[in-house]
Structure 1
Amino acid sequence: MDINLQETPIRKINDIYFKLEYKNPTGSVKDRGVSYQITEAIKHGHKSFVISSSGNAAISACFYAKKLNCDLIVFVSPKISKGKLAKLKSEKCKVVVSDKAVTDAFRFSKKNDIYNLRPSNDPNGWIGYRALARELDKQIGRVGSIFVPVSSGTLLYGIARGFGDLGYLPQLHAVQTTVVNLISSYFDSDYQKTDSSLCDALVAKTTSLKSELIKLIKKSKGFGWIISDPEIKRAWFYLKDKSIITSYEGAATLVAVRKAKEKGFELDNPVVCLLTGKYY
């Protein structure tokens, strides 16, 4: 019952390749992971699901649950962007707004024996992202460096495993914000902590993948970058002028590339920025 996603396009601007993951059916890279999770769970008899999400994963889960005739309940934080909440409601998802969305979704899953799609807790959460490595290798050849927005790290981990399947590992660059930077702060100390960020999808304050991701980044000779809102805004408008309308998380990857160059970091070419979602 696999769902075959179409390849997303590549745009090259100067010496950087931009992978336009916002061209996926629901507008984000989450389609790759969530569609795999649901189809695999269905194979094992599951037809009801719950998910806690900052927005994109919930939107994706709503789409594929409906497509595959499954039930879904979504738990979101009150801090979810208005655009994403409106999208969820337009899809007629069952949405619960909670100050403790992750905890409440977990408890609901346990109490009702319903499959929890939260990627960081699901053994299948990273597997769908492996396809990105194969796709990039097909589109541009051997990838030198890839910059990825990181929340719980499931996406970056899946990409790394995908490249491992191909027999090589490009430089892995984790991109995080001045608010939440569990991974990148191991590498980058050139930032001032803030209380808020434009990147409302990069919110994971804990992840079981932390040590593994740091090992992979070090093994790949990559780095972790912490990006500020003013830098993100400038990059977002730059991409907009190039007719690339992506999320702030995607724009942050461009800032990270620029920061790496400014600091004299030796990037392996070709360089890829993963634009993970659409702009709301």
Structure 2
Amino acid sequence: MKIAEGDYVLVLTSEEKKYLVEVKEGFFHTHKDFLDLKDLVGKTYGEIVYGKKGEKFYVLKPSLYDFLMKIERATQVVYPKDIGYILLKLNIGPGSVVLECGGGSGALTTALAFMVGQEGKVISYERELKFQQIAIKNLKRLGLLDRVVFKNVEVVEAFEEEEVDAVFLDLKEPWYLISAAWKALKGGHFLGILVPTANQVSQCLLEIQRLPFLDIEVSEILLRKYKPNPERLRPEDRMVAHTGYLIFAKKVVEK
């Protein structure tokens, strides 16, 4: 596949530093060299290109993970290590209709929109317009904006939607909207919540257990990477540890 103007590429330097770059008029600079981005048009992903001073650059196809790691943000975002598990637990796939409340800068929104496909839909509630505008910019980069309905309102008692496949809450006090989530969900379908502290988990559990939800789970995902040296294999010095607690439950009609 040939690279075209307007595409995004992942530029990897000889020192293996990564940069997500849009192919357009202008230059890409590092401390060692620079590229005329127009020179990338017509190249194939995986090729080596050389800077104006002879430095070697690798031009790679960016993955969804790469986009999420380079996302523009004005808020704390949901990390890829958590997003993968969330997508599986909420059973997100082509055609899903999923509601999120607390969209923030749009990291999870982006992943949800990618997974629901052309036939699905993401409804994203966010009360702060400035955050939502950043999320819209992030969705545009991947061409996923048409899969998302943005709602700049603060939900107090109920969502406008019913019979959705999944609901995800990423709020300071999500327990106030768990009842609203139950009403919005299809029977037997999936609620997810992300909170940063243990006392918030307890508050959520009290409300979940009061309502017709079953199959309740609380989890935390830690990610430890290793230095890819076959002769001295060892963990990286730093790791992405606690980012939040995940809570999941399934709606039932009664219990």
Fold-level similarity (TM above 0.5) = no
Q: Which structure's CA Rg is the greater one?
A: 2
Which one has more relative contact order, counting CA pairs under 8 Å at least 6 apart? 1
Structure with bigger helix share is 1
- For Structure 1 versus Structure 2, the TM-score category normalised by the shorter chain is 0.3 to 0.5
Structure with bigger strand share is 2
Q: Please, what TM-score do these two structures have when normalized by structure 2?
A: 0.37
